[in-house]
Amino acid sequence: MFLNQLVECYTGAPDVMTAGAHLEQFGSRAQGSGYMDLWWPDVCIIEMKAPKEGRRLAEHREQVLDYWRNSADLKTQTPAPRFLVLCSFNVFEVWEPGRFPLGPVDEFSIERLPDH
């Protein structure tokens, strides 16, 4: 529900699928595989963590960066999305790893979400 409402706020689409995004999309990782919470081709990957993980998002960065690196597919001409969002519902990190691979381009709390 959170991701549907988040996408609706920014696109007007009633849900992520209408906007062209996919929930729980299988993704490869250097350490195996997993499921990206949201994969929106050409736009972003969003990885959600529990609210209690807000102070520990740095420990989860490699997971979302692995998903990003492995989301590109030369055979199908699918580029990696431009943005990554690592979120604990209360805290958001926004990455643009193709341009700024060493750290998030923005970090903000849920209270600042409407400004972004």
Q: pTM for this one?
A: 0.87
**pLDDT confidence tier of residue 94, bands split at 50, 70 and 90:** very high
Q: How far apart, in whole angstroms, are the C-alpha atoms of residue 46 and residue 37? A: 6
29-42 tens-digit pLDDT = 666 678 889 999 99
CB 42 within 8 A of CB 81: yes
Q: How far apart, in whole angstroms, are the C-alpha atoms of residue 63 and residue 68? A: 9
Mean pLDDT (the chain, rounded): 89
